[in-house]
Amino acid sequence: MDAKLFFQAFTKFLLGAVIFGLLIFLPAGSSHYWQGWLLMGILFVPMFVAGLILMAKNPELLRKRLNAKEEEKEQKSVVALSGVMFVAAFVVAGLNWRFQWLVLPDWAVWVAAALFMFGYILYGVVLRENTYLSRTIEVQEDQKVIDTGLYGIVRHPMYTATIILFLAMPLVLASPISFLIMLLYIPLIAKRIRNEEAVLEQGLEGYSEYKQRVKYKVLPYIW
């Protein structure tokens, strides 16, 4: 086991969990915000398990996923705006629970949790199908076009998974107001995809032909 990679991954995991908890529970003003604990559980427990699996079976993919430093100028703005969106959505969710502005019923929270887990499973399938996936926009050495499995249906199934995950999050937190904030993710990801495809067309052999074969970017027959 790569001790340095394990330490890097565990440190980022722990820091992410702490920051996430603070963003939710401080505005809520209470640790009794059970929807917050539910989201942390279904988010971080599978993330920890997936990290251990990647550490054992594909440490290079884990290393790519840990690298979040964008080189593309346009992508830096997308990442920054996404960060602001997430902070706003989580803080508003805590305040929404604290002041009981507009709280979803428990059954809706559990439906959203099931939808979130479906998105997580989809995310895992995409990681298994495409070992070139990194968190930054780049063309890697010896990279090939992946056009099988989910990539034979849409060109960016990873973004399909993240849209499901991110739109389910505020509903698990019982905050429809936060859901409206998270809808901003759709135009942000559309901007990211435009830039990503320009980079791939320029640097990845066969990608232009792949675009002709697979017409949809994220959702079959819709987008």
What percentage of the chain carries pLDDT values higher than 70? 89
Question: Does residue 133 lie within any of the structural domains?
Answer: yes
Question: Does residue 219 lie within any of the structural domains?
Answer: no
Q: What is the pTM of this model?
A: 0.87
Percent of residues in the chain assigned helix, strand, coil, to nearest 5: 75, 0, 25
pLDDT(1) > 90 = no
Question: Does residue 221 lie within any of the structural domains?
Answer: no
Q: Taking residues 171-184, report their average pLDDT.
A: 97
Which tokens sit at 157? 């199934």
Q: Taking residues 30-53, report their average pLDDT.
A: 92
pLDDT(139) > 80 = no
Per-residue pLDDT reduced to its tens digit, 94-121: 999 999 999 999 999 999 999 999 999 9
Find the CATH number of the domain harbouring 133: 1.20.120.1630
Question: Does residue 222 lie within any of the structural domains?
Answer: no
Per-residue pLDDT reduced to its tens digit, 42-90: 999 988 888 788 777 777 777 766 765 555 566 777 888 899 999 999 9
CA distance 158 to 87: 22
- Report the number of distinct structural domains present in the chain: 1
Question: Which residues constitute the domain of residue 145?
Answer: 3-213
Question: Does residue 188 lie within any of the structural domains?
Answer: yes
Exposure b/e, 76-86, CB count within 10 A at least 16 = b = eebbeebeebb
CB 9 within 8 A of CB 67: no
End-to-end Cα distance, the chain: 41
CA distance 164 to 162: 5
Q: Which residue has the higher pLDDT, 159 or 72?
A: 159
Q: Kindly compute the dihedral angle of the four CA atoms of residues 107, 113, 115, 116, in this order, to the nearest 10 degrees.
A: 160
Residue with tokens 């990279």: 143
pLDDT(172) > 90 = yes
pLDDT(17) > 90 = yes
CA distance 165 to 122: 10
Question: Does residue 104 lie within any of the structural domains?
Answer: yes
Question: Does residue 220 lie within any of the structural domains?
Answer: no
Compute the radius of gyration of the chain from its Cα atoms. 18
Average pLDDT, the chain: 87
CA distances from 86 to 81, 131, 155 (A): 9, 27, 25
Backbone angles phi, psi at 5, to 5 degrees: -65, -40
Question: Does residue 154 lie within any of the structural domains?
Answer: yes
User: Would you call 157 exposed, middle or buried from its count of C-beta atoms within 10 A (0-12, 13-18, 19+)?
Assistant: buried
Mark residue 44 as left, alpha or beta (left: phi above 0; alpha: psi -120 to 50; beta: remaining). alpha
